[in-house]
Amino acid sequence: MSLLSRLVLRVTGWGWVRSLFTRRFGRRMAMRFVAGETLSDAVAATRALNERGMAVSLDHLGEHVTTRDEAIRARDDYLECIAAIAAEGLGANVSVKLSQLGMGLDDALAAESLGALARAAAAAGTTVTVDMEESAVTGLTLDLYEAAQRAHGNLGVALQAYLHRTPGDLERVIPLGGHIRLCKGAYDEPDTVAMRDKGEVNRAFDRLAATLMAAAGTVPAIATHDEARITPVAEAAAGRSEPWEFQMLYGVRGTMQEALVADGHPLRLYVPYGDSWYPYLTRRMAERPANLWFFLRALLGR
Ligand SMILES: Cc1cc2nc3c(=O)[nH]c(=O)nc-3n(C[C@H](O)[C@H](O)[C@H](O)COP(=O)(O)OP(=O)(O)OC[C@H]3O[C@@H](n4cnc5c(N)ncnc54)[C@H](O)[C@@H]3O)c2cc1C
């Protein structure tokens, strides 16, 4: 992650900046990356993407809840989302952050809620992906994921190429089966736990992607918008008989998304919805600081 990207994450974490964004300018910007604030917005966006040949992973925005009630509400919102996927016959699964289900506050509650989502998803014929958050919770996230995956078998997890620990984590999760999402990593991490050099992260990503694409019994989900990372995976896919997919974010590189589908590649879009969009938006801005110009234009009323 570049110095500028880390600066963006720091500054957008300040209380007054957050309040300026959320009360005034941010919503308009966020809607470039978010399908809307309600479940029906998410359903409509999913239907439209399915019609264009893309599968979806629905993310009901939220993370790091501070009360059990919030954690339970988050679980119930996800149950409602899974019910809608089944009722509307959508080509979609769900992505969830364990801190949103109470991890760190009440780990037993988070584990129980993840199990409830996996059961509901199984009944709806779909799956649950566990997003990966900051490195302080990587180990705990994998522990809760492993327990749920062993019990239910219809989950998947995200791994971040920039973490030094990820090759070991990949070896740990491959035997559990499920879908494994490989991404670069979106948080501001110290260099003791994560690579900072972009080239180094890219090389780590390519090595991990090659391992994942060669693994049997998993569904590799290669999550990137980086053309140089996509090309070797598309080549490796030619020799793969088991399912796999590319994954991209709603609102990022739409033309490339269309081209991948036109070339016959399986593509799933990560589609967030809900009103807790601020932390998600800050990570999207940090990935591409040029996005800040949208903010400045909004600020100037253009
Ligand atoms: C489906 C999916 C799920 C993810 N889940 C997680 C997760 O669980 N945990 C986690 O830490 N991270 C997650 N990420 C984010 C990921 O870690 C990266 O931060 C993000 O994908 C940007 O990296 P990149 O691979 O696209 O490469 P980059 O080198 O960052 O970007 C390549 C090109 O893509 C375009 N681009 C990338 N990001 C943006 C943006 N925000 N706005 C506009 N253009 C952009 C630019 O043209 C850029 O040059 C996820 C990403 C995807 C696609």
Neighbours of 273 (CB within 10 A): 24
Evaluated on CA atoms 278, 280, 285, 291, the torsion sign reads: negative
Q: Which residues have a Cβ under 8 Å from the Cβ of 123 and sit 6 or more positions away?
A: 86
- For residues 215 and 284, membership in a common domain is answered with no
Residue at token pair 């199984």: 122
Ligand 1 pocket, Cβ-based, cut-off 6 angstroms: 131-132, 158, 160, 181, 183-187, 223-226, 247-249, 252-253, 270, 284, 287-288, 291
- Read off the DSSP letter of residue 115: H
Expressed as residue numbers, the domain containing 21 is 1-33+277-302
Ligand 1, atom 34: nearest CA belongs to which residue? 225
- For residues 147 and 161, membership in a common domain is answered with yes
pTM of the model: 0.94
The active-site residue out of 59, 75, 169, 181 is 181
Q: Residue 196: enclosing H or E segment and its boundaries?
A: none
> Looking at ligand 1, which atom is closest to the CA of residue 268?
1
The domain spanning residue 244 has which CATH number? 3.20.20.220
Count of domains for the chain: 2
How many helices (H) and strands (E) are present in the chain, helices listed first? 13, 8
Query: What pLDDT, on the 0 to 100 scale, is given for residue 295?
Result: 64
- For residues 255 and 266, membership in a common domain is answered with yes
- For residues 162 and 255, membership in a common domain is answered with yes
CB 163 within 8 A of CB 189: yes
CB 122 within 8 A of CB 154: yes
- For residues 295 and 266, membership in a common domain is answered with no
- For residues 66 and 100, membership in a common domain is answered with yes
Cα separation, 138 vs 100, whole angstroms: 14
- For residues 114 and 206, membership in a common domain is answered with yes
pLDDT tens column, 47-64: 999 999 999 999 999 888
Cα separation, 2 vs 186, whole angstroms: 11
Query: What pLDDT, on the 0 to 100 scale, is given for residue 36?
Result: 93
- For residues 43 and 21, membership in a common domain is answered with no
Query: What pLDDT, on the 0 to 100 scale, is given for residue 299?
Result: 59
* pLDDT by 10-residue block (mean), the chain, 302 residues: 80 80 76 92 98 98 91 98 98 98 97 98 98 97 98 98 98 97 96 95 98 96 97 93 96 96 97 88 81 67 54
Q: Residue 58: enclosing H or E segment and its boundaries?
A: strand 55-60
Q: What is the CA angle 63-64-67, rounded to 5?
A: 120
